[in-house]
Amino acid sequence: SSGINAEWPLRPGNEVLASLGPIPEDEAMLGDKSTEFGLVLTNKWELNMSDESNIQALFSKTKYLIVDLLKIQRGETFTAILHTDANKQQQELYKAIHSRRLAAENEKTNEEEKNSKMALFDPNDNTIKKLKEHILKNLTILEQHKLVTPTEDYQEILTSIAKDICNQRKYRQRRKQDLKKIGETVERMSKKKKYYGEAVTYYQEYVKACVNNLSKGGKSKKGDRRKTARYSAHKLYEKGVLVEIEKVPTSSFKAVTIEFSSTDQVGVFEVSGKLSGFNIDKINVVFENLLQLQYEGVSTLKFEDSGVVINVNLLIFLLNKKFYGVE
């Protein structure tokens, strides 16, 4: 079918061929190659009138078609319009409108939407005569379901169209109000976003200032820039600050010395250790990161390179006490 589509891209039969899908394998066919097959073609725009929802859909679609007709042709009654031939000017006007709609329909990417039986636009209604035939056919079905009365000039469906037109203003006003509310909500959310962003920046600066002040307050009288606190791993383990050191048993903690030192960067501490004369990899601990972990409810922190696991809350307490003078 792909070859046919390439040679005759505008042939209507291509749409039918495309809907059949790929060519099946021989084993998928029923019977042998001499088996005869019959194809029953049905109008894909036809609706199953046994379904009540389809009847309502047909009613709505017919209103759409009638409005198209009344835009082009006028008359004393609707019945008279249906049975009066359109002049050349009206035919040309309708042809232009239909061409524009057909082009718009072909631009749709959703095949289900294009081929839906519920679609309002029918490409077969390419002349006013065909449009009227379509309308009359629909009205006959609607009459059978007692939704319209020909002897009353199909007043039921015309009244429904009139109500739709009258309600359009209400719909537009309601939609305008909804859009206004949505706009106001977006504006409020934008203001809140800006406010919270400024608040976060403010608190970050506040925390930095507090840490900086604590660092200044914790300096020795001699003006030393670096302070050091030294503990055995066993003592830190007893205090609960140290949870574990991977590959080092707790029985060997007494032989491990851990040292905390302040650095030239405010709120940054250097943690180093020695085990039987051998140095353990140094670790940088950022006080602000510890506070963030505490806020998030994280209880322990593991330093992957050294395998050291510490208790976040108790380490904060230790650093506050030894370096900032906060009990």
Each residue of 307-318: pLDDT tens digit?
889 999 899 888
* Residue 10, pLDDT above cutoff 50: no
At 19 the pLDDT is: 58
At 160 the pLDDT is: 92
Q: Give the mean pLDDT of the chain.
A: 78
Q: Which of 188, 54, 176, 44 is nearest to 123 (CA)?
A: 44
Edge-to-edge strand list for the sheet holding 278-286: 228-232, 256-262, 268-275, 278-286
The rounded distance, in Å, linking the Cα atoms of 310 and 291 is: 14
> In DSSP terms, which residues pair with 270 in a beta bridge?
261, 284
Q: Which of 180, 72, 88, 177 is nearest to 132 (CA)?
A: 72
Question: What is the value of pTM for the model shown?
Answer: 0.41
User: Could you tell me if 90 and 73 are in contact, meaning their C-beta atoms sit under 8 angstroms apart?
Assistant: yes
* pLDDT-based confidence at residue 24 (cuts at 50, 70, 90): low
3-state secondary structure of 43: coil
At 218 the pLDDT is: 52
Of residues 287 and 2, more confidently modeled: 287
Tell me the mean pLDDT in the region 150-170.
Answer: 89
Long-range CB pairs of 106-114, under 8 A, 24+ apart, other chains included: none
Token pair recorded at residue 81: 């319009």
For residues 218, 224, 230, 236, the Cα torsion angle rounded to the nearest 10 degrees is 20
The rounded distance, in Å, linking the Cα atoms of 26 and 24 is: 7
Q: Which of 266, 284, 272, 274 is nearest to 323 (CA)?
A: 266
At 38 the pLDDT is: 59
The rounded distance, in Å, linking the Cα atoms of 110 and 114 is: 6
Of residues 167 and 225, more confidently modeled: 167
CA angle 315, 317, 321 (to 5 degrees): 115
Residues in the chain: 327
CA distances from 5 to 15, 55, 92 (A): 9, 36, 31
User: Could you tell me if 44 and 115 are in contact, meaning their C-beta atoms sit under 8 angstroms apart?
Assistant: yes
User: Could you tell me if 63 and 160 are in contact, meaning their C-beta atoms sit under 8 angstroms apart?
Assistant: yes
* Residue 29, pLDDT above cutoff 60: no
